[in-house]
Amino acid sequence: MRMIPAVDVMDHQVVQLVGGVPGSQQIVMPDPLAVAGMWVEKGAPYLHLVDLDGAFGKENNIPIFKRIIREYDVPAEVGGGIRDSETIDELISAGADRVVVGTKAVKEPEWLEEMADRHPGHIVLSMDTKGGLIAIKGWQESAALSVEDMFERIRDMPLAAVLNTNVDVEGQRKGIDEAQARDFISRCPAKVIASGGVTSRRDAEILADAGAEGAVVGLAMYTNVISPWEWDTPWQA
């Protein structure tokens, strides 16, 4: 299982929020391109680029993400506020390996199916969970569909993966919710990228054992609580 550094951009700076709450940022770094380069220099095999401005309905950061993709020879997935086919086409044409869609995909599964069929193996569904419910609109609202309902909707779609961020433990540096992670991964009909609470190699090993394809790590990696580039098998659990 690969470890994937998150580059979350808000107000055109890299930030790390607690539970997705604006104003809770514990890390602020002014240059997203330099931050992405820092992880690439440490050997990161993949990048997770998140447009928090786009998720909150502000001016998006797609130009800087396209530049990161162009300048660094590392595959990347891009998400955050992506709600139209034109943006997906633009990002994939620019070299994004995967595009992450959340709010619109959950609210309009027919659109998700259309995008998955249009770009098979390149669309990631973001099924972020908060209190056991699917969280949408920058984690500010709960979706009408249940997690199980969504699993049934995507069962035959050619998705690249499902990204599950456990908002309840995101950015708190307290570790993962093992029971939640194992339950989600075991029931999901697609490959799962786990996110939220990874603060130790043991957390990563649990997710790998549960069958996760990857683990997105944010605050714990920025504060050197976890340093997967120093492991005997770097960036792998």
Q: Is 8 a catalytic residue?
A: yes
Locate 188 and state its tokens. 């999901």
List, as one string, the DSSP characters of the chain: -EEEEEEEEETTEEEE-STT-TT--SEEES-HHHHHHHHHHTT-S-EEEEEHHHHTTS---HHHHHHHHHHS-S-EEEESS--SHHHHHHHHHTT-SEEEE-HHHHH-HHHHHHHHHHSTT-EEEE--EETTEEEETTTTEE-SS-HHHHHHHHTTS--SEEEEEBTTTTTSSS---HHHHHHHHHH-SS-EEEES---SHHHHHHHHHHT-SEEEE-HHHHTTS--GGGSSSTTB-
Alpha-carbon distance of 56 to 86, in angstroms, equals 19
Beta partners for residue 134, in sequence order: 129
Of the listed 73, 128, 168, 209, which one is catalytic?
128
* Amino acid occupying residue 11: D
Active site residue 73: no
Active site (catalytic) residues: 8, 128
